Amino acid sequence: MWAQNVSAEELAQLFHHYRQALGEDFGCDDKSNQESWDDLPQEERKRSVAAARLALLELAANTKPEDDSRRYFAKPGEAEWGC
């Protein structure tokens, strides 16, 4: 699953980056939109990472595992016949 390859810290930092990049397009002039990730207060970064962690957990929980009921059966047209 792709979500297992992304850390909550990376997701939070990317989200902040894109939020900044898109802020001007949406008319956002607030101060938090202008701060880099490293300049954010520690509590704000912790909150963002916690939110990203919850989002990743929810995405992982909502994905359905691959159906194992047919894993031993060949797909149509792939069966080998022989005696």
Statement: residue 7 has pLDDT above 60: yes
Statement: residue 12 has pLDDT above 70: yes
Q: Please enumerate in sequence order all residues whose Cβ is within 8 A of that of 63, keeping only pairs 6 or more positions apart, or say none.
A: 1, 3
Domain that holds residue 51: 2-62
pLDDT at 71: 66
Residue 50 phi/psi, 5-degree rounding, is -65, -40
Distance CA 51, CA 20 (A): 17
**Of how many residues is the chain composed?**
83
The structure tokens 């938090």 sit at: 32
Higher pLDDT, 67 or 79: 79
* Position 73 in a domain: no
pLDDT at 42: 95
* Position 26 in a domain: yes
* Position 70 in a domain: no
* Position 37 in a domain: yes
* Position 79 in a domain: no
The structure tokens 């990317």 sit at: 14
Of 80, 26, 14, residue with least CA distance to 51? 14
Q: What domain count does the chain have?
A: 1
- Whole-model pTM: value is 0.65
Band of pLDDT at residue 20, cut at 50, 70 and 90: confident
- The per-residue pLDDT for range 23-76, each reduced to its tens digit, is 878 877 766 567 889 999 999 999 999 999 999 998 888 876 665 666 667 777
